[in-house]
Amino acid sequence: MPDQDCQLKVLITREEIKNTVAKLANEIKEDYRGKHPLLIGVLKGSFVFMADLIRQLDLPVEIDFIRLCSYGADMKSSGKVKVVQRLKTPVKGRDVLVIEDIVDTGLTLSFLLNYLRRKKPASLKVCALTDKPSRRKAPVSIEYLGFTLPDKFIVGYGLDLDQKFRNLPDICVFEDDESS
């Protein structure tokens, strides 16, 4: 985990994010034309991305949020995930699109997809703004992907380090992040 006193540098600019969100929205609009999808944002990190994305979707979208957390002795790699804030919207028979800020090991998303599948949606897909495939532990498919990233810890545009930096408009990394 990087030291939060280090200098931040921009990895993905707000313009690049804006263009990519528009591209993702176009793909989603094409695929969901005539449907009434339920977009499920994974809290807290996806809220900024979700807010920008849905404003570019001229579809009758419905939204809900879920909050998950990892637990166990080794929080990062235990793969044990639990739901800490449930959905309010029934998923059965719905075209569900999960909105993620980042897929890292894939353990969180893999848990969520299994959890949602048990609720019998009509369809289930994933839209993730960023992906760090080199860190994958659980295989997951991402139908709509913004950016493929190297193994660096990112903050900004909704993503935090100890609850800070979510408000940065660009996606940033720490100057002396050893993995950078």
Which residues carry out catalysis?
104
User: What span, in angstroms and rounded, lies between the C-alpha atoms of 178 and 2?
Assistant: 8
Where in 22-81 is the site for ligand 5GP (CB under 6 A)? 45
Options 37, 41, 106, 146; binder of ligand 5GP; rule CB under 6 A: 106
| Segment lying near ligand 5GP (by CB under 6 A), choices 14-22, 48-56, 58-66, 156-164 | 156-164
- Does residue 126 touch ligand 5GP according to CB under 6 A? no
Report residue 65 as tokens.
């949020």
Q: Which of 48, 99, 103, 142 binds ligand 5GP (CB under 6 A)?
A: 103
Q: Contacting ligand 5GP (CB under 6 A), which of 24, 94, 104, 113? A: 104
**To the nearest whole angstrom, how small is the minimum distance from the Cβ of residue 51 to ligand 5GP?**
17
Distance CA 179, CA 151 (A): 6
CB of 118 to ligand 5GP, least distance (A): 19
Q: Does 154 bind ligand 5GP (CB under 6 A)?
A: yes
- 12 in contact with ligand 5GP (CB under 6 A): no
C-beta separation of 115 from 57 below 8 A: no
Torsion of CA 124, 147, 154, 71, to 10 degrees: 20
Write out the residues near ligand 5GP by the rule CB under 6 A. Answer: 45, 102-109, 153-155, 159-161
